C-alpha cells in the first residue's frame, strides 16, 4: 500500500507518495513528489471510487478492486493509488505540478490528512477537499 509523507526542511518541504513495489511496477514510477507550497486543499473521501476523475492513461485499474496510475480529465491529470474498502486522502494542488490532484488510500486517512495539515500550518491553511 502507498504511503503519504512530507519530506525536506521547513524551507523546501515536499509531499511524497511512496508506492509499494507492485504499485510502482503498475504506475511505472516509484514515487510522486509535489512541493508542499502547491497544496490547495486536503480532504478525506471514505469511498475510494469517488476520489477518481477522468480516464486512466498510465497504470492499471481493476473494477471494484484498485486503481494505480495517472488519470486524465478536462482540468489536467490526477495521480491515484486507491484500493477498495480503504479511505482516501485527497490532495488538491494549486497548479499542475504535474498533477492537479493526488488521491492515495491509507488505512487511517483522517490521521494522515491531519498530519499534512499540520505541515501546512506555516505555509497557510488548506481547505477541505472532496
Choice between 69 and 10, residue whose per-residue pLDDT is larger:
69
In a domain, 66, yes or no: yes
In a domain, 38, yes or no: yes
In a domain, 126, yes or no: no
- Cα-based angle 26, 108, 96 (whole degrees, multiple of 5): 50
In a domain, 127, yes or no: no
Q: What percentage of residues in the chain have a pLDDT greater than 70? A: 93
Q: Is the pLDDT of residue 75 over 60?
A: yes
Q: Is the pLDDT of residue 130 over 90?
A: no
Give mean pLDDT, residues 76-104: 95
- Please state the pTM of the whole predicted model: 0.89
Structural domains of the chain, count: 1
Q: Residue 92 belongs to what domain range?
A: 3-120
In a domain, 125, yes or no: no
Per-residue cell: 79: 495521480
Which helix (H) or strand (E) is 22 found in, with range? helix 21-27
Q: Is 87 helix (H, G, I), strand (E, B) or coil?
A: coil
Q: How far apart are CA 35 and CA 4, in angstroms?
A: 13
Cβ count within 10 A of residue 5: 14
In a domain, 17, yes or no: yes
Amino acid at each position: 500500500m502507498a504511503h503519504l509523507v512530507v519530506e525536506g526542511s521547513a524551507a523546501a518541504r515536499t509531499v511524497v507518495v511512496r508506492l509499494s513495489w507492485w504499485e510502482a511496477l503498475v504506475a511505472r514510477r516509484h514515487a510522486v513528489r509535489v512541493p508542499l507550497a502547491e497544496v490547495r486543499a486536503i480532504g478525506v473521501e471514505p469511498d475510494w471510487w469517488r476520489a477518481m476523475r477522468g480516464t486512466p492513461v498510465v497504470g492499471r485499474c481493476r473494477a471494484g478492486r484498485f486503481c494505480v496510475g495517472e488519470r486524465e480529465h478536462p482540468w489536467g491529470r490526477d495521480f491515484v493509488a486507491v484500493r477498495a474498502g480503504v479511505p482516501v486522502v485527497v490532495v488538491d494542488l494549486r497548479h499542475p505540478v504535474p498533477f492537479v490532484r493526488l488521491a492515495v488510500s491509507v488505512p487511517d486517512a483522517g490521521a494522515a490528512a491531519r498530519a499534512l495539515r499540520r505541515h501546512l500550518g506555516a505555509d497557510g491553511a488548506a481547505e477541505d477537499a472532496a
